[in-house]
Amino acid sequence: MSRIEWQDKIAANPKIHGGDPCFKGTRIPVSMIVGSLADGMTAEEIIEQYPRLTLDNIRAALSYAAELP
């Protein structure tokens, strides 16, 4: 998967999930998707489970996680 600018797909709003980063236009926390990938789910399985997400959202989640300290 190629890397994309996560800022285009991810935002934190204190009124949604206590400010945890979520995908824009959803209430799906990025941490849940990164955790699912770490648990062995494929991007396709995640998209099937969360049809509002796209492959670009998954890429954004990975880019975001890669930049965490």
pLDDT digits (tens, 9 = 90+) for 23-51: 999 999 999 999 999 999 999 999 999 99
Query: What's the mean pLDDT in 48-58?
Result: 97
Which range marks the domain in which residue 43 is found? Answer: 6-67
pLDDT score recorded for residue 3: 53
Number of domains in the chain: 1
CATH number of the CATH domain containing 24: 1.10.10.10
How many C-alpha atoms does 33 have within 13 Å on its Cβ side?
Answer: 33
Residue 48 lies in a domain: yes
pLDDT band (50, 70, 90) for residue 69: confident
pLDDT band (50, 70, 90) for residue 1: very low
* 59: nearest Cα among 21, 9, 3: 3
